[in-house]
Amino acid sequence: MKTYQAFESADLPDNYKDNVITMKRVLREQIGDVNALFAEVSAFIEGEIASIREQEAATGSAWPVLEYEAIARGEVTADQLALIKRRGCLVVRGHFPREQVLGWDKALLDYLDENDFDETYRGPVDQFFGSLEASRPEIFPIYWSQSQMQLRQHERMATAQSFLNRLWKTQSQGQTWFDPDVNALYPDRVRRRPPGTRSKGLGPHTDSGALERWLHPAYLKVFDKIYRNDFKSYDPWDAAHRTEVDEYAYKDTVKCSAFRTFQGWTALSDMKADQGVLHTLPIPAAMAYMLLRPLLDDVPEDELCGVAPGKVLPVSEKWHPLLVKGLSAIPDVQAGDSVWWHCDVIHSVAPVEDQQGWGNVMYVPAAPMCPKNLRYARDVFKAFEQGASPYDFPREDYEVTWKDRFTVEQLNKIGRHGLGVE
């Protein structure tokens, strides 16, 4: 857009701080009374947090919960849909039968043992979460086990992903932005946290770009309503231009080349809500607060409240105390439940001392098919054929020589579509 030309950039600018300085000048001018807009957004968030706490007091958790069967039968009510859109997150109960996921958990361990993972593991290599105060949980850089691939190409997974994608407005501005019923298969890692774990958790943040959210031309279109001082018209569920965002490339760090409507994981073990679990700020439009906060006078002109190239977008007590106040834990989950949150939703993992029980999850998001996701899916297919690490992740390539990897012949129709080979 014309107004943003003075500072927008599709790639990481050489001197990005210059772009930040210009961005602040242009946006302040366009918005007018930035303080009043920030106050309006803050008042909205305060109202939402009050509603979140009320729901927590009444039901134990602010998170909407649906039975998988209700999704599969198309029996989700209008009220339930409205609440999911309001909170931007969801627990799907009984998404997979308990015995099935416990079997997947066991098979994953066997796969690691059979291939001597413990002897060959070289330790974590990326510093993606380095800007957060807490360290990251225990993540295994494994992508191609039978368990992970069976989950990713499962019919029940595809059904839930379509439901989640359909919460978005897929057609707007005369364009169809993605196909909600076909999902790109996005390979991610596995978390296994044994009983007795002491973890500092993971500080609050959002994914899907940090600096990009202020400087990338497509994100400027996504957030245009906010920058035009029209917060009431901003719709976090409008898919327009979301699929045109390409995260900046940095050396040696994790990024996401796919557009994800929701991030998610499937629980492979029972987890109590007080055992270092996922929290979100269940307010998708809270991104407006994140975007506007650096425009206030108390932030240095070339800074964005802790944003650094190649790091996640941090949410801090220092700059965003209201947002930290609203963080809400998932309810207790059982093995076979899955957990989902909108791509703008702020999330964190709570610290835990002497964790009771296992904390095991497989990360599988919803990434509906669009040109961007098809491009990445085809790259993923090449990595999959070789057992290599997918391109968004460090090139650790543990599984290249491993036995019992999932094979191309084992792909079903969902898997083939998800990898763009059919």
- The residues that touch Fe ion, with contacts defined as CB under 5 A, are 207
Closest-CB residue for Fe ion? 207
Distance of closest approach, residue 220 Cβ to Fe ion, in angstroms: 23
- Toward Fe ion, which CB reaches closer, 207 or 246? 207
CB-CB neighbours of 251 under 10 Å: 5
Cβ nearer to Fe ion, comparing 192 with 205:
205
Residue 340 beta carbon to Fe ion: minimum distance, rounded to whole angstroms? 13
Minimum gap (Å) between residue 327 Cβ and Fe ion: 13
Q: Tell me the C-alpha distance between 409 and 391, whole Å.
A: 22
Residue 134: helix, strand or coil by DSSP? coil
Least Cβ distance, residue 304 to Fe ion (angstroms):
18
Closest to 278 (Cα-Cα) out of 207, 227, 370, 196: 207
Contacting residues for 79 by C-beta, under 8 A, at least 6 apart: none
d(CA 306, CA 315): 8
Residue 323 CB, nearest approach to Fe ion (Å): 15
Amino acid occupying residue 337: D
| Nearest CA-CA partner of 294 in 210, 209, 207, 237 | 210
Instruction: Give SS3 for 181.
Output: strand
Alpha-carbon gap, residue 184 to 165, rounded angstroms: 12
Tokens representing residue 121 in the block: 């593991």
Q: Residue 136 Cβ, how far from Fe ion at the closest point, in Å?
A: 10
In one letter, which amino acid is 8? E
| Helix (H) and strand (E) counts in the chain | 15, 16
Give the shortest CB-75-to-Fe ion separation in angstroms.
Answer: 31
The enclosing H or E element of 221 equals helix 217-222
- Closer residue to Fe ion (CB): 204 or 336: 204
- Cβ closer to Fe ion: 210 or 271? 210
Yes or no: say if 328 and 86 are a contact pair by the CB < 8 Å rule.
Answer: no
For Fe ion, the closer of residues 8 and 344 by Cβ is: 344
Residue whose C-alpha is closest to residue 347's, from 136, 43, 103, 72: 136
Minimum CB separation from Fe ion for residue 6, in Å? Answer: 31
Question: In terms of CB distance, is 23 or 339 closer to Fe ion?
Answer: 339
Residue 76 contacts by C-beta under 8 Å, 6 or more apart in sequence? 66, 70, 163
Nearer to Fe ion, 207 or 344 (CB): 207
The two three-digit tokens of residue 415, written as one number? 């898997």
Q: Which is nearer to Fe ion, 207 or 247 (CB)?
A: 207
Residue 205 C-beta: closest distance to Fe ion, Å:
6
CB nearer Fe ion, residue 170 or residue 338: 338
Dihedral angle of Cα 149, 155, 157, 162, to the nearest 10 degrees: 130
